[in-house]
Amino acid sequence: MLRSRLACGQFVSEPEIYGRTFLGQRLEIWLPPSESVRTLVFAGIHGEEPETSVVLSRSLRALAEPLERCAVVVAANPDGLIRGTRGNARGVDLNRNFPTRDWQPDPVTHRWVVEEPSEVVLSTGEAPGSEPETQALVALVEKLEPSRVIAMHAPLACIDDPEASPEAHWLGEQAQLPVVSGVGYLTQGSFGTWCAERQLPVITYEFPRKSVEQLVLDHLPALTQVLSGSWPFD
């Protein structure tokens, strides 16, 4: 259920703290009153994808009722979001730092702007799971034991789900995005790989490159259904 005026923008509940960043910032999570979580949605693990956090925050603040069977992390990498960097404050790509069997110690490169040949080099961490943000998200998932996770990213414009689940197809239809089974490159040490090793379904929701306001218009209806538990899968 949406508020009659989305501009009022008030959170319907206060977040809990599930950890701290390298610089000591709070890692916040909004939980349903029942504390029974079927879906965990998080955004902002890459600090240079702020649109994911903005749209998820707007969706959360558009709810007129508390969350239902869904937990929300608006910013999984607040230090990176503040700095506008893909990695955390130590220059680590958190989405290559999870303690997976395929974690690699070598730096990874990321093309900053798709059309430009320049690349940013990032660390994968001193060891698997070395970063406090990674450790906190791992502990959170293990504590909540959700049935599925939706990870918000940009700007590949797709719904990535290796299992091609009904949930992924529903999101694809709602968002008018294609459902794919991979993004075309290796993601060793990623959150998705860590979850796959535990047989926890993960859907990567990749926004297209559009203005934030257009992304809100395009994706808020589907996301509010997920957060309120009114989509067909809860």
What's phi and psi for 122, nearest 5 deg? Answer: -130, 150
- Written as one string, the DSSP assignment of 114-151 is TTS--EEEEB--SSTT-SHHHHHHHHHHHHH--SEEEE
Of 20-34, 106-120, 126-140, the one with minimum mean pLDDT is 106-120
- The mean pLDDT value of the chain amounts to 92
Domain 6-227 has CATH 3.40.630.10: yes
pLDDT of residue 55 exceeding 80, the answer is: yes
Task: Specify the pTM.
Answer: 0.93
User: How many of the other CB atoms lie within 10 Å of CB of 14?
Assistant: 8
Among the options 51, 133, 167, 206, which is catalytic?
206
- Nearest-CA neighbor of 224 among 8, 75, 68, 77? 68
Radius of gyration of the chain (CA): 17
pLDDT digits (tens, 9 = 90+) for 91-126: 999 999 999 999 999 999 886 665 565 678 999 999
Domain ranges of the chain: 6-227
Three-state DSSP class for residue 73: strand
Active site residue 206: yes
